[in-house]
Structure formats: structure tokens, C-alpha cells
């Protein structure tokens, strides 16, 4: 019984609680670009859901066979195969959708949602769970896209359900609902590029308000949203990178496996390094003294510079000698 409940949870968490668009903030490119009308949004959502479900199933079936190092390219090949399939299906049966989605249909292959779910869920869970997860996430994605497309279409175009039914022009014209006032004076900016950003911002603000009311914390664009997060070589997120030195993963693993030095060994190592440095400074200082010959043409100034250089070298040698005395 518990297994069944958790399966239902897997199915429904993608719809509201962990909606990929609005809560997890994945897949922002198609969300902004294809929601100029509700139909385009829904079409994009259905196409992406199909790819998500199929690739989740196939990847969870092949999870044990794929070696760990080449898993990302393998997943990409599987996903790209399904995307090519969807491209041809849409081109054959829904030409207006194909024209309006444009370049975003083949770009489903790099959609963060699909690669991210494959990486984080499908390669660790069974086939049924992965399929349910795909269905849930796909439903959530489609829902969010349709709602956003409906809002943008309503305010930016003054119509509802335009282009919804794949038929000829007359059928579509008879079924489109034109809202009286907005249809004559649409707010065109909402249907264009800036409107996409702004409506998405407004919807996320609404979702954040809901999340804050329930006591959670809204997410930010960070590594959690990147599909490659688990194979990343970075300790901190790229957005917060400053002057942080990033060790390569192999070096990190070697460091973790190297036998830990005891405290005394560490202290002895530091002391040895300091002594070597002091010796080097002393040698450099003596070399400087030997070569203190400035190339100033004026003899008086040259003599002064030589004296200064010798004095500096002597001071450096003294300091180095002092440090060495400290160590011993």
C-alpha cells in the first residue's frame, strides 16, 4: 500500500508541488518563447511530454548497461532520437504548430527538464516509477505553458482558443472566442518578447507568494536547475564564482583518498618549505650584492645606487638569517 501511495506521489508532485516550470525553474527558454498563444503552449508541452515519458522509460531500462563516464552523451542520443521522431510527427499532422514552434521543436533535445529528470530520476528508479514521473512532470509543464499562453493570448491578442482545433480556417474562425473590448485594443507588447518575460515574472511572483504562505523558500536560478549539476566539476555554482580555484574531479578524488598526514608531519613540511625559501632569499641577496653595478651614466648617482642596493641586500640577508634562526 505504501508503494502505491508513493507512486501516486511521484505522479502528482510534478503537477503542482515541483512544477518544472514555475517551482524548479527549468526549461525557461521554451516557456518564454512558445507561449504566444495557448495552443502553441499546449502543443509544445505535449511534444516535450512525449519525449520526456519515452526517454525516461528507455533510460531507466538501459541504466544498468550504460557506463558511468559516457552516460550524458548516451542520454543525449536517446533523447535526440525521440525528438527527431516528434519533429516528424508534428510536421506531418500539425503544420501550423510546426511553423509557429520553429526552432524550438528540435531544441527540446537540450531542454533542461528532460536531461535533468533523466539524470536525477530515471537512472536510479524502475521503469514504472520513471514513466509516472515523466507523466507528472509533463502534465505540469503543459499546464504551466497553457496557462501562460492563455494569459498572453488574452491580453495580447484579445482572443481565446484561437488555433486550437487543427482544422481549416473556417472551423478555427468559428470556434475562436473574441473578447469584445480587448480584441479591438490588444496590449500587443504582452504577445511580443518583453511580454513573455513579464508574464513569466508575474506568474512566478504569484507562485512565490503561495510558497511563502506555506512556509517554504522560493528557488533561485542556481546549479539545482542545471541538467549537468551532478557531473559538474564545480564546488560552488557558476553564478557565485569569484576567485575560487576549481580542482578537477580526479584531483579531488585523489586528495580524498590520499593518506591524511599527521599534525607533526604537516608542521615539519611547513618548516622545511620556509627554510628552503629563506635559503633562496639569502642566496639571491648575496648574488645581488655581488652584481651591484648600476648602469647609470652619472658616476655619483651610480655610486649612490650601488650603495643602496648593497644595503638592501644586506638587510634581506639579515632578515633571512633571522627567520632561519627562528626555525631552528
Partner 1 sequence: MGVYFSIILGMVLVNNYPLAQFLGICPFLGVSKKLDSSLGMGIAVIFVMVMATAATWPIMRLLDSWNIAYLQTVVFILVIAALVQFVEMVLKKFVPALHKALGVYLPLITTNCAVLGVCINNIDLGYNYPQALVNAFGAGVGFLLAMIIFSGMRQKLENNDKVPKPFQGVPITMTTAALLSLAFMGFGGLV
Q: Which is nearer to partner 1, 81 or 321 (CB)?
A: 81
Please identify, among the stretches 10-18, 46-54, 108-116, 123-131, the one whose residues bind partner 1 according to the rule CB under 8 A.
Answer: 108-116
Q: 124-146 burial by CB neighbour count: b if 16+ within 10 A, else e?
A: ebeeebbbbbbbbbbbbbbbbbb
Q: Which is nearer to partner 1, 113 or 135 (CB)?
A: 113
Residue 159 phi/psi, 5-degree rounding, is: -125, 160
CA–CA separation, 91 vs 94, rounded Å? 6
- Binding window for partner 1 (CB under 8 A); candidates: 38-46, 192-200, 266-274, 288-296: 192-200
Q: Does 194 bind partner 1 (CB under 8 A)?
A: yes
Pick the piece of the chain touching partner 1 (CB under 8 A) from 37-45, 47-55, 58-66, 202-210. Answer: 202-210
Strand partners, 160: 177
Site size for partner 1 (CB under 8 A): 59
Asked if residue 93 binds partner 1 (CB under 8 A), the reply is no
Asked if residue 198 binds partner 1 (CB under 8 A), the reply is yes
Sequential DSSP letters for 161-208: STT-S-S-HHHHHHHPEEPHHHHHS--HHHHSHHHHHHHHHHHHHHHH
Residue 33 lies near partner 1 (rule: CB under 8 A) = yes
- Whole-number Å distance between alpha carbons of 63 and 121: 11
Question: Please, which of residues 223-252 interact with partner 1 by CB under 8 A?
Answer: 225-228, 231-234, 237-242, 246
Question: Which of residues 147, 151, 204, 285 is near partner 1 by CB under 8 A?
Answer: 204
What is the crossing angle of helices 193-213 and 127-157, to 10°? 120
C-alpha grid cell, residue 224: 539545482
The residue from 6, 183, 212, 254 that contacts partner 1 (CB under 8 A) is 212
- If binding is defined by CB under 8 A, does position 254 make contact with partner 1? no
Q: How far apart are CA 108 and CA 115, in angstroms?
A: 10
Determine which residue in the list 138, 140, 149, 195 makes contact with partner 1, applying CB under 8 A. 195
Rounded to whole angstroms, how far apart are CA atoms 118 and 55?
8
132 vs 227, beta carbon nearer partner 1: 227
Residues 35/196, Cβ–Cβ less than 8 Å: yes
CB of 87 to partner 1, least distance (A): 7
Is 284 a binding residue for partner 1 by CB under 8 A? The answer is no
Between strands 159-160 and 177-178, the pairing is antiparallel
Q: Does 197 bind partner 1 (CB under 8 A)?
A: yes
b/e per residue, 234-268, with b = 16+ CB within 10 A? eeebeeeeeeeeeeeeeeeeeeeeeeeeeeeeeee
215 binds partner 1 (CB under 8 A): no
Task: Tally the residues of the chain.
Answer: 328
153 and 163 Cβ atoms separated by less than 8 Å = no
Instruction: Work out how close the CB of 317 gets to partner 1 at its nearest, in angstroms, rounded to a whole number.
Output: 35
Examine residue 219 and tell whether it contacts partner 1 (CB under 8 A): yes
Q: What residues make contact with partner 1 under the rule CB under 8 A?
A: 25, 28-29, 32-33, 72-73, 76-77, 80-81, 83-84, 87-88, 103, 106-107, 109-110, 112, 115, 189, 192-198, 200-202, 204-206, 208-209, 212, 218-222, 225-228, 231-234, 237-242, 246
Amino acid at each position: 500500500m505504501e508503494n502505491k501511495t508513493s507512486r501516486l506521489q511521484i505522479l502528482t508532485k510534478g503537477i503542482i508541488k515541483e512544477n518544472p516550470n514555475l517551482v524548479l525553474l527549468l526549461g525557461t527558454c521554451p516557456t518564454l518563447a512558445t507561449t504566444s498563444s495557448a495552443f502553441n503552449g499546449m502543443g509544445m508541452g505535449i511534444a516535450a511530454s512525449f519525449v520526456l515519458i519515452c526517454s525516461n522509460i528507455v533510460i531507466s531500462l538501459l541504466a544498468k548497461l550504460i557506463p558511468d563516464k559516457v552516460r550524458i552523451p548516451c542520454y543525449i542520443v536517446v533523447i535526440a532520437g525521440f525528438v527527431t521522431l516528434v519533429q516528424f510527427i508534428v510536421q506531418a499532422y500539425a503544420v501550423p504548430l510546426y511553423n509557429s514552434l520553429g526552432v524550438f521543436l528540435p531544441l527540446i533535445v537540450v531542454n533542461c527538464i528532460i536531461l535533468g529528470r533523466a539524470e536525477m530520476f530515471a537512472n536510479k528508479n524502475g521503469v514504472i516509477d520513471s514513466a509516472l514521473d515523466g507523466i507528472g512532470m509533463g502534465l505540469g509543464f503543459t499546464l504551466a505553458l497553457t496557462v501562460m499562453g492563455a494569459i498572453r493570448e488574452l491580453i495580447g491578442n484579445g482572443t481565446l482558443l484561437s488555433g486550437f482545433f487543427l482544422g481549416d480556417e473556417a472551423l478555427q474562425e468559428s470556434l475562436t472566442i473574441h473578447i469584445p473590448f480587448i480584441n479591438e485594443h490588444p496590449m500587443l507588447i504582452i504577445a511580443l518578447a518583453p511580454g513573455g518575460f513579464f508574464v513569466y515574472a508575474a506568474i512566478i511572483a504569484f507562485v512565490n507568494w503561495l510558497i511563502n504562505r506555506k512556509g517554504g523558500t522560493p528557488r533561485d536560478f542556481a546549479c539545482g536547475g542545471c541538467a549537468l549539476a551532478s557531473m559538474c566539476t564545480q564546488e560552488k555554482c557558476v553564478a557565485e564564482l569569484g576567485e575560487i580555484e576549481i580542482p578537477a574531479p580526479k584531483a579531488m578524488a585523489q586528495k580524498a583518498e590520499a593518506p591524511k598526514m599527521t599534525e607533526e608531519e604537516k608542521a615539519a613540511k611547513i618548516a622545511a618549505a620556509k627554510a628552503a625559501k629563506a635559503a633562496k632569499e639569502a642566496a639571491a641577496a648575496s648574488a645581488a650584492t655581488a652584481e651591484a653595478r648600476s648602469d647609470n651614466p652619472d658616476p655619483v648617482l651610480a655610486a649612490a645606487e650601488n650603495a643602496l642596493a648593497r644595503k638592501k641586500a644586506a638587510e634581506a640577508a639579515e632578515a633571512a638569517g633571522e627567520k632561519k634562526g627562528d626555525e631552528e
